[in-house]
Amino acid sequence: MRKKLEDIKNRIKKAACVCGRDPETIRLVAVSKTMPADRVREAIEAGAAILGENYIQEAREKINTLLSYPVSWHFIGRLQTNKAKYAVKLFDLIHTVGTLKLAHELNKQAKKINKVQNILIQVNVGMEISKSGVYAKDAQSLIKDISCFENLSVKGLMTMPPFFNNPEKVRPYFSALCNLRDQIKKESMPNVSMNELSMGMTGDFEVAIEEGATLVRIGTAIFGKRN
Ligand SMILES: *Cc1c(COP(=O)(O)O)cnc(C)c1O
């Protein structure tokens, strides 16, 4: 685990240097979905500082087990409105907000516990029916609506691009997300900072970094194959 994590951190640094970016501007989200708490503990002790989880119930148990570690938990799964209450209690950043309805509920639940919840807007860059997220053409208007919510802070965009075996094929989707982020950032909306780009997984994170990723979400390369 320690070796794998170090390898990944080195590959992140290298990819950053190749394109002249400061490696410190890229953070690794270790995706621990389906992994038991003991494996997550192992990853934390080996240097994982941000953990990414996809399922609320599963995450809640692990977070409670590992409360003594000063790590940050990010939610990267599909979030149902009726779980928003738990999500705001558990997570520092929610990557997967794609509807006004979900944002509205997160704002309401965050307000109840006096929190400003950090979120990313998930964009369906490939316009795939199987994937969630707002279409790129509708993202700015959604974010404008969300900018009225005082208990939400929009930190940037996230995407799950279409799958290709060749990561070069994904590059145009990453660069489109980066352009969209830059364009929305220019609008300077309240409660919207737009500095983050969550993109890139085990198979394509180096390309994502070259295209501007600030958060890479990596599971398999750290924990091995999931069942
Ligand atoms: C599972 C998952 C990942 C990690 O994928 P790997 O290919 O195992 O690195 C990243 N992002 C999201 C949203 C995921 O669900």
Give residue 218 CA to ligand 1 midpoint distance, Å.
Answer: 6
Question: What is the predicted pLDDT for the residue at 196?
Answer: 98
Q: Assign 21 to helix, strand or coil.
A: coil
Question: What is the predicted pLDDT for the residue at 108?
Answer: 98
Element (H, E) at 145: helix 136-146
Element (H, E) at 15: helix 2-18
Question: What is the predicted pLDDT for the residue at 12?
Answer: 98
Does the Cβ of 202 fall within 6 Å of ligand 1? yes
Residues of the chain with pLDDT under 50: none
Nearest-10 Cα torsion for 50, 89, 81, 174: -20
Best mutation site among 31, 53, 91 for ligand 1 pocket (most ligand atoms within 8 Å of CB): 31
DSSP 8-state code for residue 162: P
Q: What is the largest distance, in Å, between two alpha-carbon atoms of the chain?
A: 45
Does the Cβ of 220 fall within 6 Å of ligand 1? yes
Q: How far apart are CA 107 and CA 143, in angstroms?
A: 13
Does the Cβ of 140 fall within 6 Å of ligand 1? no
Q: How far apart are CA 210 and CA 201, in angstroms?
A: 13
Closest CA to 8 of 217, 226, 192, 152: 217
Question: What is the predicted pLDDT for the residue at 25?
Answer: 97
Give residue 216 CA to ligand 1 midpoint distance, Å.
Answer: 9
**Domain ranges within the chain, ordered by starting residue:** 2-11+27-219
Atom 10 of ligand 1, residue of closest alpha carbon: 217
Q: For residue 160, which atom of ligand 1 is closest to its CA?
A: 13
Give the architecture (CATH level 2) of 2-11+27-219: Alpha-Beta Barrel (3.20)
Within 8 A by CB and 6+ apart from 140, the residues are 183, 184, 187
Question: What is the predicted pLDDT for the residue at 227?
Answer: 86
Q: For residue 202, which atom of ligand 1 is closest to its CA?
A: 9
